[in-house]
Chains A and B, each alone.
Chain A
């Protein structure tokens, strides 16, 4: 674990103590959170991403605090280390579709043109390999039909996703698939001085729309369809969703990632109670995906009707 004295010396704190040992530091300048990185390139990518995002959007984000020597990261026995302000108050999104839509639109249109080790979480080929054959691994009589029926429906979802992606490449060959710092929850939005403060993680940059899917899905669940549509309109002003990205986004939403995750998880369990928990979890996630696809496609139909055909 990083020593307190190293941090005090590097960052020039007068007083520092552990709030959470190895994670959060209590200093005369407030609480500071430590991030550890295994890969230097990844830190560099995040430094650049956060700088650009803050410049472009004007919103605060957990940028790296500089050391006394002006460095944004230090090398320790634990690997690369960066220090950040620690903010915990959640941003209240309600009735702030415009503000947040603008931020997300700018977030996904940000292209920092930094080479990196991108992660593609929605790999259709891999998922297709999971689903193309009947799955029979000695499951109980009760679970086997459940899995088989869902597998067929998942294949149907995947085929629709593939078709959308093909159409998308045909229509919008120039569309730029976003590469972003991954988002896992709306709760990464914090509030500082009544302003949005976005808290990034340390994960690999992500190519595609999975993060946008999560944002939209959670928004739908929290604030309903009407609010989601307002948010989509706002996003579209800054990120050409309808024109360039919609079908790819929908393809990612259609991809039955939750079912393949379920298949992976049930391999590791033998307790029937755990199976029930996983089934429930799958049902919940599947339903969220279904609701999002429905809402997005209806929004697309709605906006398409308003555009006169040439």
Chain B
């Protein structure tokens, strides 16, 4: 039995999130980016939809005293965000980045192997009212074949790289509970021009968001094999060596869901259950769309439903990866795999471990900002971890941390794959 070489569709997200005036950050306490997506199969397409959910806690900047005696001060009142802060004065950040990826079904031999992962996540605070986020997101479990590389090259030549993000601000804007960039209109009438409030802090600037949002397509590339892959990976695949050869992200999928090759004999189609699809009704996802639009090896002829194409509007940054494999190999292996690998009922969501080598089953990372007087032991105890795990995860050279330092906190998987030993 031969295997398709899995690949990852990766892109980076660069977003600026503005807080309301009066909700400016004095100190960021925690920040988590977590995929909340559903995977659905419709016809020849597989839709990966949902949101990247940003959660965080912060201490707000102290409001200036209303001692000016102006009329404006006398009648001012607080926003819902300010009022909603918890009793200890900790503000909560909630924000959604819609995600919509469409992949031709032929490119996926097992939906259970399809993961959305946040590979890297970082932020900056350029101002007290703004958080700039950068994240690298991967959709892994897509079969790679010759056409995939043609695809990435062809995009430069033949296809408009328009990232379909925020086409409709009303749909894609985040929750106004926390941010003012969500100008969802509850009026029955549509405005001829949307919000053009002059104060950027007070209201979200759609143009600004468009400018600052940039999703960089990196590559459709085969995952690379981790030489020291965990044993269980090999135990649970029929041909682990060949399958994971040359993989770049293989260890992520394997350790996240080790039973990826189960039920290989069942031919009964199983309805795919969206992982956490019930939450996706809050916003219409739009940003990343991978549609069928592919060139053949000659780079000219359009081949439908074989390869994903990603459209990006801003900052397209496409790189292609060379591959020596013959073009037809992917399809053959894909159909073979499709016959023997039914879909499972669940799909786990994972925040990729950025720094682990696969020895722990963690589903996401939290970011912790070290406070004054805190030690690694205290932090490890708080998150029920070993100090050594923190050291390893954060590549620390010593067991000491200092105030303001950011630590990545691994959080154990909450969704485990269903194991079938049949």
Contacts and interface: CB of A to CB of B under 8 A. Distances in A.
Interface string A160-186: 100010000000000000000000111
Contact of B71 (A226, A290, A301): A301
A280 B78 contact: no
Contacts of B153: none
Interface stretch (A7-15, A216-224, A233-241): A216-224
Nearest to B184: A284
Interface in A48-97: 90, 92-94
B72 A286 contact: no
Contact of A287 (B84, B180, B188, B190): B180
B332 to A, nearest CB: 45
Nearest to A217: B187
A164 B176 contact: no
Interface residues of A, number: 47
Given A160-B75, A297-B72, A283 B197 contact: no
A254 B75 CA distance: 8
A225 B71 contact: no
A131 B375 CA distance: 46
A294 interface: yes
B74 A222 contact: no
Contact of A304 (B71, B197, B281): B71
Interface in B174-200: 175-177, 180, 182-184, 186-199
Given A150-B83, A160-B77, A276-B282, A287 B196 contact: no
B77 A153 contact: yes
Contact of A94 (B180, B193, B202): B193
Interface in A199-230: 218, 220-226
Contacts of A127: none
Contacts of B282: 276
B258 to A, nearest CB: 34
B282 to A, nearest CB: 7
A149 B83 contact: yes
Contacts of B176: 280, 283-284, 287
B162 interface: no
A93 to B, nearest CB: 8
Given A273-B281, A284-B186, A297-B75, A223 B202 contact: no
A4 B84 CA distance: 56
B72 A283 contact: no
Chain B at the A interface: mostly helix, strand, loop or mixed? loop
B23 to A, nearest CB: 11
Contacts of B202: 291
A296 B74 CA distance: 12
Nearest to B81: A283
Nearest to A223: B196
Given A150-B83, A280-B176, A287-B180, A221 B191 contact: yes
A262 B415 CA distance: 36
A157 B79 CA distance: 11
Most B CB contacts (10 A, CB to CB) among A149, A184, A185, A293 go to A149
Contacts of B77: 153, 156-157, 160, 254, 290, 293
Contacts of B193: 94, 222-223
A283 B177 contact: yes
Contact of B197 (A149, A152, A220, A282): A220
Contacts of A160: 74-75, 77
B182 A164 contact: no
Contacts of A226: 198
Interface in A287-310: 287, 290-291, 293-294, 297-298, 300-301, 304
B208 interface: no
B203 interface: yes
A92 B193 CA distance: 10
Contacts of B80: 150, 282-283, 286-287
A231 interface: no
Given A218-B187, A280-B175, A280-B177, A224 B79 contact: no
A152 to B, nearest CB: 8
B186 A294 contact: no
A281 interface: yes
B76 interface: yes
A222 to B, nearest CB: 5
A25 interface: no
A287 B77 CA distance: 10
Given A224-B196, A280-B175, A218 B79 contact: no
Contact of A279 (B177, B196, B198, B281): B177
A133 interface: no
A218 B191 contact: yes
B191 A290 contact: no
Most buried by B among A92, A94, A222, A287: A287
B333 to A, nearest CB: 42
Contact of A294 (B72, B188, B196): B72
B177 A187 contact: no
A88 to B, nearest CB: 12
Nearest to B21: A294
A121 to B, nearest CB: 16
Nearest to B180: A287
B397 interface: no
Nearest to B203: A291
Contacts of A280: 175-177, 182, 184
16 contacts: A150-B84, A153-B83, A156-B77, A157-B77, A160-B77, A164-B75, A185-B188, A221-B183, A221-B195, A224-B197, A280-B176, A282-B80, A283-B176, A291-B203, A293-B75, A301-B70
Interface of B: 20, 70-72, 74-81, 83-84, 175-177, 180, 182-184, 186-199, 202-203, 281-282
Given A224-B198, A287-B180, A298-B70, 20 more contacts: A94-B192, A160-B77, A164-B75, A187-B189, A225-B198, A254-B77, A276-B282, A279-B177, A280-B182, A280-B184, A283-B81, A283-B177, A284-B176, A284-B184, A285-B186, A293-B76, A293-B77, A297-B72, A297-B74, A304-B71
